[in-house]
Amino acid sequence: MSVEQALTIADLKEQARRRVPKMFFEYADSGAWTEGTYRANEEDFHKIKLRQRVLVDMSNRSLESEMIGEKVSMPVALAPTGFTGMQHADGEMLAAQAAEAFGVPFTLSTMSICSIEDVRSVTTKPFWFQLYVMQDKDFVHNLIDRAKAAGCSALVLTLDLQILGQRHKDLRNGLSAPPRFTPKHLWQMATRPFWCLDMLGTKRRTFGNIVGHAKGVADLSSLSSWTSEQFDPQLSWKDIEWIRDRWGGKLILKGILDEEDARMSLGSGADAIIVSNHGGRQLDGAASSISMLPRIVDAVGDRMEVHLDGGIRSGQDVLKAICYGAKGTYIGRPFLYGLGAGGKAGVRRALEIIRKELDITMALCGERDLKNLSRDNLYKDV
């Protein structure tokens, strides 16, 4: 099956499973500990029921919207994801190009394989950059400055990875940063020949934003020890001020999952918050993102733009989040599955699937303009 024949994100997931080595596929397709929160992110969307409306004009529909003042063809951004360039060679560059052509934002992760400069070299419009705060503040300052120099139009500051949650699949697969190529790993790659051929054609196989930029990290051996020690466990609300001042542009806070934290964010000077539990990859047992969305929207009212990340696998999920008050949504795994399945064409197909599902669902709910969606379009709350 080609990516163009895929009808659902689940179809792309199965294609990616067959094409990407297990250690990298399961890096994307995994959560922390029991993976309960990872599963709940998806399952809780199914509990939300839609109001079907009939005998209304369904012509001339529009999905266009805005996220932090930027026009988007639909309220969906590609989420920041680490190791993206291991799902497909030059993955971040290909995904950024697909997002740009589709008219939606692409967010580059600090832990990307392709660097900020790599992505800038193949795009014509600004993309967003996601920042992890490390203990090496000179490195963080440099990252912010590099994102500014590349013309990034928003900084997404991740708040929920001060320490790393345990993901059993990564440990069992022996995944590391950089990966260790044991006989088991070599066998996994040997059984994925097309992936290998693509990877042989690129020089980008490690964390491009770190190697050669962080002090003492000039090769793969030094990178492994650096990454295991660098996430800053002392990150606090006061750090947002100096990050915001150095950045000087649009700032989005990612990782809000509690009403009190949402209210505290109102004084941060940020332009938006993302309701997120890191895709169920940090605190297992935390509430799903969609279950907390309406509470957080109610907590901040119209004083802060609220986005949602986590669990979206369809255009219907996007619509439900918009109905609950989100001004934008993020897809991570759906675009990674598309990327793994077919590179840039696979990412484009993932976006096409979500757009078609969102458009048809909106029509069957009796709406023609996405901006008119509200909780009135939902039959029952979570």
Catalytic residues: 278
Annotated binding residue 312: yes
222 is in an annotated binding site: no
Is 208 annotated for ligand binding? no
278 in a known ligand binding site: yes
Q: Is 130 annotated as a binding residue?
A: yes
Determine the straight-line distance between the first and last CA of the chain, rounded to whole angstroms.
36
Q: Are 82 and 324 in contact (CB under 8 A)?
A: no
Residue 295 labeled ligand binder: no
Residue 254 known to bind ligand:
yes
* 88 marked among binding-site residues: no
Using alpha carbons, select from 300, 221, 289, 219 the residue that is nearest to residue 254. Answer: 289
Is 167 annotated in a binding site? The answer is yes
* Residue 38 annotated as part of some ligand binding site: no
CA dist 381 and 358 (Å) reads 19
Annotated binding residue 313: yes
3-state DSSP helix/strand/coil percent for the chain, to nearest 5?
50, 15, 40
Concatenating the DSSP letter of every residue in 198-259 gives HHHT-S--S-TTTTTTSTT--SHHHHHHHHHHHB-TT--HHHHHHHHHHH-SEEEEEEE-SH
345 residue type, one letter: A
- Name the pairing type of β-strands 378-380 and 49-50: antiparallel
Coil, helix or strand at residue 142:
helix
Cα distance between residue 295 and residue 273, in whole Å: 13
Q: Has 69 been labeled as part of a binding site?
A: no
Binding residue ranges: 27, 80-82, 109, 130, 132, 158, 167, 254, 276, 278, 281, 309-313, 332-333
Binding residue ranges for FMN: 80-82, 109, 130, 158, 254, 276, 309-313, 332-333
Binding residue ranges for glyoxylate: 27, 132, 167, 278, 281
